[in-house]
Amino acid sequence: DEQYDPRAVQDRWQARWAELDPFKAAGDDRRERRYALDMFPYPSGDLHMGHAEAFAIGDVIARYWFQRGHDVLHPIGWDSFGLPAENAAIKRDSHPAEWTYANIDTQAASFQRYAPSFDWSRRLHTSDPEYYRWTQWLFLRFYERGLAYRKGGQVNWCPNDQTVLANEQVVGGHCERCGALVERRTLTQWYFKITEYAERLLQDMDQLEGNWPERVLLMQRNWIGRSEGADVEFAVEGRDEPVTVFTTRPDTLYGATFFVVAADAPLADEICAPEQRADFEAYREQVSRESEIERLSTEREKTGVFLGRYAINPVNGERIPVWASDYVLAEYGHGAIMAVPAHDQRDLDFARKFGLPVQVVVETGEPDPAQTGIATAGEGRLVNSGPIDGLGKREAIGRITEILADKGLGRAAVNFRLRDWLVSRQRFWGAPIPMIHCPSCGEVAVPDDQLPVELPADLRGADLAPKGTSPLATAESWVNVDCPKCGGAARRDTDTMDTFVDSSWYYFRYCSPDYTEGPFDVAEVRRWMPVDQYTGGVEHAILHLLYSRFFTKVLHDMGMVDFTEPFTRLLNQGQVINQGKAMSKSLGNGVDLGEQIAAHGVDVVRLALLFAGPPEDDIDWADVSPHGMTKFLARAHRVATEVEAASGTDPAGGDTALRRVTHRTIDEVTTLVESHRFNVAIARIMELVSAARKAIDSGPGAADPAVREAAETVAVLLSLFAPYTAEDAWSVLGRQAPVARAGWPVAEPALLVEESVTCVVQVAGKVRDRLEVPPGIAADELERLALASERVQTALGGAEIRKVIVRAPKIVNIVPG
């Protein structure tokens, strides 16, 4: 048909599929189960090119499993709490729900058209009370286990969004969302004790090795940041209790020439001598305005103040001055360090700035750090170090740790960079924290039977404007409650949860989305989980994936699930860029998905994205050829049409050469899809279409059964990538919709064996042997095979060979001498 139009094909089938609903997860015990999960979208507007890429990849995987006859769970839902909805509501004087659910409807309609193989019956939205009831329920379980707690302290504060941020949400000192420079504030907030799981989060990565992208594992490892070393106790003059420091280099203890306390740590305030107090307080004030990134920067000039005190080095009794500085962080280790300027660059910078002594204790062969300003961090022998002189680094660390332990002045220690997860937010559009503050009972959990604590219905528009405290605090009738314990007047907690709490467990909910007895039906989770394949953006390499892994381990410890890792395999798709750059308004290089689909049709867009390269690579839309894809789909469709028109006219035996191509294609595409090399798989299907075309035009013709076999195979293989065209071709061929459940073709082994020809071997003109050889065999290889033949050797009877004439692949003639 000359009129093949991908958009018309699409309209024809979309309605039909809505009736057929072919992608329901069955819960059928006789079939292998598979769980294909895509990172659920945030309803920020309509779907964009990034969604198109990610969901095309996840869809190919799910559709392949459907074709294999597995029982597949491929759900969709929305991560629908969050700030953008709130900001939109303020701007439009409306409720965040209006914007949120309108966008969800838009995205849902676009998904229906884009044709991912979802089980729509499991749809969920994290902002539905029936969902966040269980988010709150989980919070309470965490609370009971001591994993949710409130504490005062320094937090990251976004002055623009007027709310606190988790450490993970601060990127390079800026708010991950709005880009504002993050400030530090002292506030009382709720935390999840993820640090209690640090070791397991690290260890269980062994299960993910090889199945998750290496760079994601590396980022998680770095974020968790495990350091081995020792805690060492230093007496401080004028203080009863010793002060502990964490060091990864206890071997350098004899080189400690001064001591530094974090300027914002309570310890600095406590030990500061009276004559230094004014200087110290001025300095501390200055530090309070700095971000963590600034503080840790190695480029900045070091700053600090002497605290007017001395610490005593526990191994040699030396008095060393105690300083306060910003390069030591209050929340890491013990908030204080022993400074070894010879072997630590930050300490050396500080020593040079303030004229403090530098003492080399490791002989590395490099020039003197006091002269060069470059600390020597390499391996070497210990010097000037009493009992550990002459030892190498490793032995010295072991020995000095023993000495300290014997004297009760230290011990081996492990430190993690990971901090507890700050989960409270001073914003409206999130799950309210289900706690009550009572003047007499203190913190009281909302009883389970009073969940969900729904958001107050009457706040909207300007009520939600950021003011540094939660908008919920202004809803008086909502805030004031009776204490569940004593019945007295009490107040609700007015913060809401970080939306990363919502997304840490949604994939459990998909297993039983309407379950009313708990967050999920344990039996259903046992059936479906862990997730076999998770697809989504690398921007979630730390936050979402780390939090989800943490939640899964807590649920495991609660006895609710029997596995410890939620996502067996992870794929991070590349970005869709344009003209070599990320799409952006300012560059004007944005590509609109809706426009592309209107111009070319869904199948062309999906195919173009999948054919552009391996799924992990970025796709430059400028290099993509929708036109080429349209031509290919039309060719594939035309083969089906011609086969159908010719069918019944000539039942002659199928052409073996074409059958070989078909079955080799099946075999290769299977392997390629399983290893996620979709672009190559599509190239193979293109080759099969060309082979079928050639068979029609200059071979056995469209009526040959091998051509029909090729056309049907193309339809099924193509159903993963270009589902509408595949469906239409399938129907043209007279087959029953949906092609998506037609069943994956199986390659016939006999047709995969390389073709062979019979080679006749003659000795002195007489046929002595016949060899089966590949048609393309090289002459010297054929000669070798012929001479190796036992029959030939017998015929020769040890005679000399005068000449061997080879006519590959058919004849070898051996002439004895």
Q: CB under 5 to 8 A by kind: which of Zn ion, ligand ANZ, none does 441 bind?
A: Zn ion
Candidates 28-36, 246-254, 486-494, 643-651 — which segment interacts with ligand ANZ by CB under 6 A?
A: 246-254
Q: List the structure tokens of 231.
A: 């805690």
Helix (H, G, I), strand (E, B) or coil at 125: strand
Nearest residue to 26 via CA among 60, 70, 59: 70
Hey, how many other C-beta atoms are within 10 angstroms of the C-beta on 210? 9
Among residues 344 and 712, whose Cβ is nearest to ligand ANZ? 344
Residues 214-233 that bind ligand ANZ (CB under 6 A): 227
Q: List the structure tokens of 793.
A: 């050797």
Hey, how many other C-beta atoms are within 10 angstroms of the C-beta on 689? 23
Q: What span, in angstroms and rounded, lies between the C-alpha atoms of 524 and 85? A: 33
- Number of residues located near ligand ANZ, criterion CB under 6 A: 17
- Contact pick of 246, 258, 508, 520 for ligand ANZ (by CB under 6 A): 246
Q: CB under 5 to 8 A by kind: which of Zn ion, ligand ANZ, none does 333 bind?
A: ligand ANZ
Q: What span, in angstroms and rounded, lies between the C-alpha atoms of 689 and 616? A: 27
Nearest residue to 362 via CA among 405, 337, 397: 397
Q: CB under 5 to 8 A by kind: which of ligand ANZ, Zn ion, none does 248 bind?
A: ligand ANZ
Q: Does residue 249 touch ligand ANZ according to CB under 6 A?
A: yes
User: Could you please report the per-residue DSSP string of 707-729?
Assistant: HHHHHHHHHHHHTTT-HHHHHHH
755 secondary structure, DSSP code: P
What is the sign of the dihedral through the CA atoms of 182, 188, 189 and 192? positive
Q: What span, in angstroms and rounded, lies between the C-alpha atoms of 324 and 236? A: 14
Q: Cα-atom radius of gyration of the chain, to the nearest Å?
A: 35
Q: Does residue 801 touch Zn ion according to CB under 5 A?
A: no
Among residues 486 and 799, whose Cβ is nearest to Zn ion? 486
- Contact pick of 65, 134, 332, 350 for ligand ANZ (by CB under 6 A): 332
- Contact pick of 248, 474, 564, 589 for ligand ANZ (by CB under 6 A): 248
Report, in Å, the least distance between residue 488 CB and Zn ion: 5
Q: Does residue 335 touch ligand ANZ according to CB under 6 A?
A: yes
Among residues 486 and 815, whose Cβ is nearest to Zn ion? 486
Residues 345-384 that bind ligand ANZ (CB under 6 A): none
Q: CB under 5 to 8 A by kind: which of Zn ion, ligand ANZ, none does 332 bind?
A: ligand ANZ
Q: Does residue 247 touch ligand ANZ according to CB under 6 A?
A: yes
Q: CB under 5 to 8 A by kind: which of Zn ion, ligand ANZ, none does 502 bind?
A: none
- Contact pick of 252, 426, 504, 731 for ligand ANZ (by CB under 6 A): 252
Report, in Å, the least distance between residue 244 CB and ligand ANZ: 10
432 secondary structure, DSSP code: B
Report, in Å, the least distance between residue 185 CB and ligand ANZ: 20
Q: Does residue 58 touch ligand ANZ according to CB under 6 A?
A: no
Report in angstroms the alpha-carbon separations of 150 from 368, 435, 495, 505: 49, 11, 12, 22
Hey, how many other C-beta atoms are within 10 angstroms of the C-beta on 487? 10
Q: CB under 5 to 8 A by kind: which of Zn ion, ligand ANZ, none does 731 bind?
A: none
- Number of residues located near Zn ion, criterion CB under 5 A: 6
Q: What span, in angstroms and rounded, lies between the C-alpha atoms of 118 and 18? A: 11
Q: Does residue 341 touch ligand ANZ according to CB under 6 A?
A: no
- Contact pick of 441, 591, 634, 657 for Zn ion (by CB under 5 A): 441
Q: CB under 5 to 8 A by kind: which of Zn ion, ligand ANZ, none does 472 bind?
A: none
Report, in Å, the least distance between residue 233 CB and ligand ANZ: 14
Q: What span, in angstroms and rounded, lies between the C-alpha atoms of 168 and 500? A: 11
Q: Could you give phi then psi for residue 710, rounded to 5 degrees? A: -65, -45
Among residues 80 and 415, whose Cβ is nearest to ligand ANZ? 415
Among residues 128 and 366, whose Cβ is nearest to ligand ANZ? 366
Q: Does residue 485 touch Zn ion according to CB under 5 A?
A: yes
Q: List the structure tokens of 300.
A: 């900045």
- Contact pick of 58, 82, 308, 333 for ligand ANZ (by CB under 6 A): 333
Q: What span, in angstroms and rounded, lies between the C-alpha atoms of 323 and 259? A: 6
Amino acid found at 74: H
- Contact of 164 with 534, CB cutoff 8 Å: no
Residues 397-436 that bind ligand ANZ (CB under 6 A): 415
Q: Does residue 483 touch Zn ion according to CB under 5 A?
A: yes
Among residues 253 and 446, whose Cβ is nearest to Zn ion? 446
Q: CB under 5 to 8 A by kind: which of Zn ion, ligand ANZ, none does 344 bind?
A: ligand ANZ
- Contact pick of 26, 457, 486, 489 for Zn ion (by CB under 5 A): 486
Q: CB under 5 to 8 A by kind: which of Zn ion, ligand ANZ, none does 227 bind?
A: ligand ANZ
Taking phi over 0 as left and psi of -120 to 50 as alpha, with beta for the rest, 762 belongs to beta
- Contact pick of 343, 425, 460, 527 for ligand ANZ (by CB under 6 A): 343
Q: What span, in angstroms and rounded, lies between the C-alpha atoms of 33 and 69? A: 9
Q: CB under 5 to 8 A by kind: which of Zn ion, ligand ANZ, none does 792 bind?
A: none
Nearest residue to 716 via CA among 765, 660, 665: 665
Helix (H, G, I), strand (E, B) or coil at 420: coil
User: Could you please report the per-residue DSSP string of 255-307?
Assistant: G--EEEEETTSHHHHHH--GGGHHHHHHHHHHHTT--HHHHH-SSSPP-EEEE
| Beta pairing, strands 576-578 & 381-382 | unpaired
Q: What span, in angstroms and rounded, lies between the C-alpha atoms of 36 and 119? A: 11
Q: CB under 5 to 8 A by kind: which of ligand ANZ, Zn ion, none does 246 bind?
A: ligand ANZ
Residues 328-387 that bind Zn ion (CB under 5 A): none
Question: Which residues in this chain contact ligand ANZ in the complex, by CB under 6 A?
Answer: 227, 246-249, 252, 328-329, 332-333, 335, 337-338, 340, 343-344, 415
Question: Which residues in this chain contact Zn ion in the complex, by CB under 5 A?
Answer: 438, 440-441, 483, 485-486
